[in-house]
Structure 1
Amino acid sequence: MPLIFRFLSLLPLWLLHGLGALLGWLVFALSPTYRRRFIAHARLAGYSLRAVGSAVGHAGRMVAEAPRLWLRAALPPCEVRGAECVEQAWAAGRGIVFLTPHIGCFELSVQEGARRWAPGHGPFTILYRPARQAWLARMLAQARQRPGIRAVPTNLQGVRQMIKALRRGGAVGLLPDQVPPRGMGVWAPFFGREAYTMTLAARLVQQTGAAVILARCERLRLGRGYVLHLQALEQALAPEVDAAVRQINAALEAQIRQCPQQYLWGYGRYKQPREPEVAA
């Protein structure tokens, strides 16, 4: 498998995206469970399969482009729009919490941000949970330790490092629509249905006064690269955690509606949270 990944990393982006689209539709056709979940989640947001059918192919593109992003030193072409909100936050002496939902190439969001701003403001701090397979864990570790990126464990120690980074005026990247372990979130509406939602993003902002910037990295057609959209949260987060979480979910919904054709509708957003891991 590592050899296959290395071979795929050498292919041009247009070919990876073409192969990925085929993979996405193959999985959609062969997995009734995945297909039902995809359609049900899209309908919750008011979309028919016809309206967001291209998201099926984009799910496969996400998988196919991973070797390129993990194993190649040079990043693919990426235009950044809205960079002024980042510059304004740092000019004000604030740390930044970047939030991106499972849309487009979220993997590239932090990589491009780190490439652009880490030299002047320090590494971007992200949470990292090692994969169970040894070969995949090694590859992910390589990807997470790119220049300008600092990966920390998904435990209290990692959270403390995030707080320190923000208080120094650094940046943190999170996927706030990822289902956290039990006890680390609250139930909040997401497209009209209660979803277990992490409180970490809200607590980091409340404890450090960091700015919140929403990031959405869209794929361009024919493998021409990506566009990273950056937008500051319109209103300051509410002081109550539950209200702040609802506010973040609403902001994520708005981001997804900007490009529903690239959202991972098949992601298990409404699943029950797993039990937290107990350190040995």
Structure 2
Amino acid sequence: MTIPRHLFAPRLWPTWLGVGLMWVLTRLPRGVCYRIGAGLGLAFYFLAKRRRHICDVNLRLCLPDLDETEHRTLLKKTMRDQGIGLMEMVRGWFLTVDKLGVELRITGGELMEPADGRGVLVVGTHFTSLDICGKLLGERYPADSFYRKHKNPVLEWVMSRSRGRFGEPIHRRDMKRALRRLRDGHRLLYLPDQDYGRKSAEFVDFFGVKAATTIGTSTLAKGGRARVVFPAYRRLDHGRAYEINITELEGFPSGDPAADARRINAHLEQAILNAPEQYIWVHRRFKTRPEGEARVY
């Protein structure tokens, strides 16, 4: 492993100190890391007021039938889960799959295999177990993925090393490269469940609330002539095991981008209801509103 010389600049020493601390933490037993993550998440609940507010609003919009006690309990569990996911992400950076000490329970794995020369578009979603499940799945079924370059060059180097082990990192704006890879029979991980603005988006229901939802999934599936699969994943038994259930979205794309976007959201809703506290509710899913609607955050 060769570290580029420019990453040793004095201004980056604090980052290296943080990276070193993360490396040390990943050497602790898995259960200890889980408890550290849970503790961090509870700290987020009390200290990260802006993120807690966003989470609060999202839960009230998407799960309005919860009473106040149920809502507060889920809010606290959700913030706690953010810390657990953070520790899992760091463990994924520095540990090989065999050192993670976890069990993977997977169904529908055969759908990840390219067939008839067609690539596979894997629709990922922002659950707190995304990074560790991506690593576990990537070992069996390597996939390319989109990325956005991190502003800190040390963290970018660390993440790029981890990201590139199971597929080719593709810049998020390099659609031509992504389409070529799909046409060549590769797998591509794509995450369409955040608010990317009005451009190339349709306002479709997400738990009954209009949400700006990218039509990029349809574009990639059509242009890449790819089969589309949806892996629903969740953490089990306090992080001792992870479950991934893969289903194929047959007849996708349909020719109606709005209907396709709603179909993706419907699959996501079902996955969330199976483990609502494990979804990353702290992002502003309803940041972009239809014309004339007030801001919600």
Distance 2:159 2:190 in 1: 16
Q: Which amino acid aligns with 1:102?
A: H
CA positional deviation for 1:234: 5.7
In structure 2, relative to structure 1, the CA distance for the partners of 1:109 and 1:58 (3 Å cut) is same
Q: What is the aligned length?
A: 264
Distance 2:62 2:251 in 1: 23
1:1-20 paired onto structure 2 within 5 Å: 1-20=18-37
Aligned match of 1:59:
82
Distance 2:215 2:250 in 1: 19
User: Once the two structures are superposed, what CA deviation does each residue of 1:159-202 show, in whole Å capped at 9, x if it has no partner?
Assistant: 11211121122111011112325524333322222222222111
Q: 2:125 is paired with a residue of what secondary structure? A: coil
Aligned match of 1:167:
183
Distance 1:26 1:85 in 2: 41
Aligned match of 1:130:
149
The answer to whether the 8 A contact 2:234-2:242 is kept is yes
RMSD of equivalent CA atoms: 2.3
Q: Which amino acid aligns with 1:224?
A: R
TM-score (norm 2): 0.80
Aligned match of 1:200:
216
The answer to whether the 8 A contact 2:62-2:209 is kept is no
In structure 2, relative to structure 1, the CA distance for the partners of 1:114 and 1:65 (3 Å cut) is closer
Structure 2: state its 5+ residue gaps. 1-17, 290-297
1:169-184 paired onto structure 2 within 5 Å: 169-180=185-196, 183-184=199-200
Q: 1:172 is paired with a residue of what secondary structure? A: strand
The answer to whether the 8 A contact 2:127-2:278 is kept is yes
CA positional deviation for 1:255: 1.6
Q: Is structure 2 residue 38 aligned with structure 1 residue 24?
A: no
Q: 2:221 is paired with a residue of what secondary structure? A: helix
CA positional deviation for 1:138: 1.4
Q: 1:69 is paired with a residue of what secondary structure? A: helix
The answer to whether the 8 A contact 1:110-1:173 is kept is no
Distance 2:196 2:169 in 1: 17
User: Once the two structures are superposed, what CA deviation does each residue of 1:129-168 show, in whole Å capped at 9, x if it has no partner?
Assistant: 111112211111111111x32101111xx21121112112
Aligned match of 2:107:
82
* Percent identical: 24
Distance 1:51 1:70 in 2: 29
User: Once the two structures are superposed, what CA deviation does each residue of 1:71-114 show, in whole Å capped at 9, x if it has no partner?
Assistant: 22335334242234515x63454321111221141113332232
CA positional deviation for 1:221: 2.4
Q: 2:140 is paired with a residue of what secondary structure? A: helix
The answer to whether the 8 A contact 1:104-1:217 is kept is no
Q: Is structure 2 residue 160 aligned with structure 1 residue 141?
A: yes
Structure scoring higher RCO (CA < 8 A, sep ≥ 6) equals 1
Structure 1: state its 5+ residue gaps. 119-123, 274-280
The answer to whether the 8 A contact 1:104-1:216 is kept is no
Distance 2:141 2:54 in 1: 38
Aligned match of 2:237:
221
Aligned match of 1:72:
95
Q: Which amino acid aligns with 1:131?
A: H
CA positional deviation for 1:53: 4.1
Q: Which amino acid aligns with 2:96?
A: A
Select between 259-268 and 52-61 the one with higher mean Cα deviation.
52-61
CA positional deviation for 1:23: 1.1
Q: 2:229 is paired with a residue of what secondary structure? A: strand
In structure 2, relative to structure 1, the CA distance for the partners of 1:125 and 1:112 (3 Å cut) is same
